Amino acid sequence: MSEKERTFEQSMERLEEIVGILEDNEQSLDETIALFEEGLNLVKYCDDKLKQFELKITEIKSKNDEEE
């Protein structure tokens, strides 16, 4: 599943899964690096989504304030 198809919640779940795998420290160095890279990409994706959500909430609040 690509990042574009994944929801924020699914991305967070996968990130938690990656952290658990890395904490077990039972994979090869190559696998560790690949998981670390995937994790960083997920963090960036989630951070971007949170910023979009924050902007949307700000827009909704502003629109609501204008209507009052």
Distances (CA, A) of 17 to 42, 51, 67: 12, 23, 44
Q: What is the pLDDT of residue 1?
A: 61
Q: Quick: pLDDT tens for 7-60.
A: 999 999 999 999 999 999 999 999 999 999 999 999 999 999 999 999 999 999
The model carries a pTM of 0.80
Q: What is the pLDDT of residue 3?
A: 54
Cα separation of 54 and 50, whole Å? Answer: 6
Q: Where are the domains of the chain?
A: 8-67
